[in-house]
Amino acid sequence: MADLVAGGVITDEAVSAATDLLPAWTKARPLSYSFVTRPTPDGLVVDDVQAGFGRAAAPYLDMLPPEAHATVRTTLDGAFPRGFTEYRPVKGRTEDLHPLLGRSEAGEDPRWADHTPDALEVFHDQEHDELRLRRAGTVVDVLHLGQLTPDALPDRVAVLHADLFCGAVDLDPLRPADGVLRYRDVVLRLGRGAPVSVEVPSSQVVEVVVETYLRPQAIRR
């Protein structure tokens, strides 16, 4: 792919070529990423790419206007038309507290959880060549919107937090050694050691970041 990126610019042809190289199983289920961005005099700069599905905004929905909750809920309903089960573990971190946005909940205590790890079966979906979860023959999508890393959770609940994990994004191999990496008018990576001048009202920065979090830009089916 690197040979299709000329002068630090990712072209539409490079994106199409990368899409064609993806195995079918990577496109069989919803996938979402969120972008930590900031406006600069030179354009929009992407500081980080994180897992999406509204995960970054979910812990703070109760502090945001009501339409924020509705936006995230609508986005998730569109990505999972058959519904999804939400996993909400708590390990003492505010970033992992998030509201119930799904129709059902997964957890270890059968007194309140609709699905427990023991009730779920891992099976091989041969049509899409991927591991899936099902209960009594019905396929289940389990979504974890918290910020806890897998290392902070016990191995016995791996089936709950790893079902829709989006993985990491690394664009550094495409970045030229002495320049920036761009796609259209967005700066994806700055040049190593390049200073950035930002003169933007703080309210505008917050607005851009929240809007990016609430509207995942890369959900695909």
Render each residue's pLDDT in the chain as its tens digit; 221 residues.
667 787 888 888 888 888 888 877 777 778 788 888 888 887 788 888 877 887 777 878 888 888 888 888 888 888 888 889 998 887 656 666 788 888 899 888 889 889 888 888 888 887 777 778 878 888 888 888 877 666 777 788 877 877 776 667 778 788 877 778 888 888 887 765 554 444 444 434 334 444 443 443 333 33
Alpha-carbon distances, residue 49 vs 8, 35, 63, 192 (angstroms): 18, 5, 23, 18
Distance CA(132)–CA(141), nearest Å, equals 8
**Is there a single domain that holds both residue 13 and residue 57?**
no
Structural domain range at position 94: 53-165
**Is there a single domain that holds both residue 130 and residue 176?**
no
Q: Count up the domains in the chain and report the number.
A: 2
In this structure, is residue 213 part of a structural domain?
A: no
**Residue 163 dihedral angles phi and psi, to the nearest 5°:** -65, -40
Inter-residue contact 31 to 22 (CB < 8 Å): no
CA end-to-end distance (rounded Å), the chain: 23
Inter-residue contact 58 to 145 (CB < 8 Å): yes
Judged on CB neighbours under 10 Å (0-12, 13-18, 19+), 171 is: middle
**Is there a single domain that holds both residue 47 and residue 89?**
no
**Is there a single domain that holds both residue 59 and residue 159?**
yes
Neighbours of 210 (CB within 10 A): 16
**Residue 106 dihedral angles phi and psi, to the nearest 5°:** -110, 145
In this structure, is residue 180 part of a structural domain?
A: yes
**Is there a single domain that holds both residue 77 and residue 153?**
yes
List Cβ neighbours of 165 (8 Å cut-off, separation of 6 or more): 51, 144
In this structure, is residue 61 part of a structural domain?
A: yes
